[in-house]
Structure 1
């Protein structure tokens, strides 16, 4: 199936998306959708092109560099220094990339939806047609949700400004302004409802299915603090997928095992992401492991970013996540805090994306896993005040996750109050979901309740003093990009606070 996506995705992607601005995208001379898509087979080929536009590498890079997941590597030549120092403005790469990339994804989904609605399938192909259309609606919902995750100040406030709602293909002369959160989240819910009514696949690790919709509902509800919805959806998926054992867990990240995986983005030799890609910037694509190292895995792979010491210090060597997160060639100095010999005395090499299929640094990107569902459920219990106890509680779920990762019985946690429970959830998410694109968003939405912000080890930030960042800091919302103001000047008055 990977090879099919490689062959079809690159060509069809050219038909679906080619633009200079993120929103003003209906350009003269483009192949009309009615001409490009005349059969259900055409729609299926187009769908592969839409999938090819989903790229989470920039978000994985940003969530790692801008927080406390990473330290500057011994082979760093200036890569990522601005982001590592918390420098963020309307001209930053993250601001432009996240905006343009996700609106490009939405554009490609909109064009496919328009083409599908103009097509009358034969009765024998109606089921496949519906499934293709359902996947397109789900992808459009996902694109809008990714934008909301970064550009709204408050996920829970329906009256706050969200992003620009685009459920159609705009013309070149349209200059759209931001919608409210209520309007954008309303569209996302509507698109998920549409997808749910059309999809005919219950589960698939690599294609959008009913379980993808359920996982997205769970994540979005947690962000919105709608914990009844989060609990129902997360519980359903946790019961269905369970947790990986220690052997399976390692296979998740070398792409030999789909345990726990609700949905992932496949990456394979010969596809459009089979390149190193730009290094040291969040405006990137290519091998996901190349976001941390130039050449390959391990000490000899020229890591320009290393794992942060404050993250490393959280993970016990008996925890299977230790060997998944940190390469065995790491140089671990117990006296690192007092070292005088330079960075090479303590080198913590990121191992989560060591490579697959014989290609160093190339791995699938995990989007939804059942362990995230467990942590969402733990969050829901904490918000309800059910944080202690040996069942149906935050403590029991954290213990269940740790039991699976240690492969043995662990101590049941106990929390003095809700803040302590949220702090432990945030810490467990930091370890479990490290380098998967969650940390910045987790601090944005949970940091204040947990009394936690970015906290680097002093050794990792001695050179620039950028050691901490409060969860209430304005930089936990991205600025609208300057590139968009050039085409749509009315948006300047809707810039996010602090910029």
Structure 2
């Protein structure tokens, strides 16, 4: 018994860094989660007892003592929101596709080399973080059953449960997205459905994809029927009507239920209260007047760097600190990315300063040349942003997603890693913090793409083209009228939608699943990585991977297979 307790204590200590002091105060010794999730009860008992085998302590804060009011339920829900984590999802999508190259501040990364095994840390983190959120949701649902609300409290009580079940559904969906071999095949292997708080000795089987979606639908039905949609400036950072409708639109699209996806996409566009964020810049002669061009380097691969003449370091900070970029007349699209305006965001994860500095996943200290770039923007993606949109319109994403301090080579095919550094600036920080940004989960532009794809599947190529044109028009900073795309067939239409999704939704966690879903239909070969962006090229470390490659589904973590006897995905 003592050895068993000591072994479990080691598991507890190894996971403590994932939890905050408030969580410990709220749930103290009662948090337990499947296998490797922290067993707070054991930790507290072992540290506070004279007898390590004495489990029950006087005055302990268990479920019955905690869930005694709707107010306490709300406190636990607030902590549950903090468990939502898409950081690993976003980064693995960048590394396993063509979004990034290894930056000057990093030597090598096995995932970016397409070297995927069952012990891959990103895959393990995606699995663990989403099941961690599920565990929090299940604890809240179980605890809520211990309290009987008054008639006056019942709507708020049910709304808390509605938000909780919506978050639980979202976590299961994210797991399916990365670990199911085929989201449109109900019989494909899915993930574990966990609708209870498991004990350390309980296992959960791997359900089929169809069974998991049935469970998700049930949770969303409850959420839709019982949610009191929040109001106020920060309402979009909580489960709201737009979250549920956007979630359903994306889910049905991935399931190839295009009729239902279209219903919810139309609903969001008509009722969300948001519009596509504009990119028009009022600064005269932008971008030339906002920086000086300073040559750097000589010979083959020489580069130029844009330096703000009025600053002591590159202009990156100026794009949101200078008054012209955060004023009422500044481009809403830029203000949205520095968290100064909701813009077209339908749901975002709140990431205040000094909490989770996601930008550091791409740039160590800040998204500028001297900020320690870990990953550069992939050259093929950068080239897309430099292309005119047509009709005299130029793409603002070139200046919004690439820092002005970036080192752009005139001969990229021979440039060294330090000779070309295309600094990713999609997460530029916010006022007061260089590396903190909210994570945008659902945006209106994605809903336009969902609707466009649904229209293509139904044969309305012109209707789809008009939606793509509207998004491109909103990204023009020069004015002009973006021409209507002309699609000769379904393949060309899907290819253009995939292209626009690549540009608009880069570094938001979409590219990986988009290539898996649409690569064949768009007649693209797979990833589109520039040769110089690969760490090296060999049979085991290719420049690109093709459609149908087993790596477009992540491996079930080996540690989970060891303790839970789950079947592994093909190829691993």
TM-score, normalised on structure 2? 0.78
Match of 2:420 in 1: 346
Pick one of 429, 443, 455 that aligns with 2:528.
455
CA distance in 1, matches of 2:374, 2:349: 25
Q: Secondary structure at the match of 1:361?
A: coil
1:208-265 CA distance string (max 9 Å, x none) = 0121111110010010010111111111112332211111110111000101111101
Is 1:126 the counterpart of 2:154 in the alignment?
A: yes
Pick one of 139, 142, 156 that aligns with 1:114.
142
Deviation at 1:316, TM superposition (A): 3.0
Deviation at 1:9, TM superposition (A): 6.3
Q: Secondary structure at the match of 1:372?
A: helix
Pair 445,11 (structure 1): closer, same or farther in 2 beyond 3 Å: farther
Tell me, yes or no, if the aligned pair for 2:34 and 2:200 is still in contact at 8 Å. no
Match of 1:335 in 2: 411
Deviation at 1:74, TM superposition (A): 1.6
1:26-62 CA distance string (max 9 Å, x none) = 9766953222211111000000111111111111111
Show the 5 A alignment for 1:1-80: 11-12=25-26, 17-19=31-33, 21=35, 31-78=61-108
CA distance in 1, matches of 2:30, 2:451: 38
CA distance in 2, matches of 1:10, 1:364: 25
Root-mean-square deviation over aligned CA pairs: 2.1
Deviation at 1:357, TM superposition (A): 3.1
Match of 1:98 in 2: 126
> Any gaps of 5 or more consecutive residues in structure 2?
1-19, 43-54, 280-330, 388-393
Tell me, yes or no, if the aligned pair for 2:141 and 2:164 is still in contact at 8 Å. yes
Match of 2:548 in 1: 472
Tell me, yes or no, if the aligned pair for 2:28 and 2:61 is still in contact at 8 Å. no
Q: Which has the higher helix share?
A: 1
CA distance in 1, matches of 2:260, 2:39: 35
Q: Secondary structure at the match of 1:385?
A: coil
Pick one of 393, 397, 414 that aligns with 2:486.
414
1:344-366 CA distance string (max 9 Å, x none) = 33221000111113111110000
TM-score, normalised on structure 1? 0.89
Show the 5 A alignment for 1:164-175: 164-175=192-203
Match of 2:352 in 1: 268
Match of 2:338 in 1: 254
1:310-354 CA distance string (max 9 Å, x none) = 100111372121112100111112322244xx2233221000111
Is 1:234 the counterpart of 2:308 in the alignment?
A: no
Deviation at 1:117, TM superposition (A): 2.5
Match of 1:149 in 2: 177
Pair 309,357 (structure 1): closer, same or farther in 2 beyond 3 Å: same
Pair 188,154 (structure 1): closer, same or farther in 2 beyond 3 Å: same
Matched residues, number = 469
CA distance in 2, matches of 1:243, 1:131: 29
Pair 294,65 (structure 1): closer, same or farther in 2 beyond 3 Å: same
Show the 5 A alignment for 1:272-421: 274=355, 286-316=356-386, 318-339=394-415, 342-387=416-461, 389=462, 393-406=463-476, 407-421=479-493
Deviation at 1:171, TM superposition (A): 2.5
Pair 243,13 (structure 1): closer, same or farther in 2 beyond 3 Å: farther
Deviation at 1:462, TM superposition (A): 6.3
Deviation at 1:480, TM superposition (A): 1.0
Which of 1 and 2 has higher RCO (CA within 8 Å, sep 6+)? 1
Match of 1:278 in 2: none
Pair 249,15 (structure 1): closer, same or farther in 2 beyond 3 Å: farther
CA distance in 1, matches of 2:104, 2:27: 38
Tell me, yes or no, if the aligned pair for 1:289 and 1:361 is still in contact at 8 Å. yes
Tell me, yes or no, if the aligned pair for 1:202 and 1:211 is still in contact at 8 Å. no
CA distance in 2, matches of 1:31, 1:443: 48
For the pair shown, the structure with the greater C-alpha radius of gyration is: 2
Tell me, yes or no, if the aligned pair for 2:29 and 2:41 is still in contact at 8 Å. no
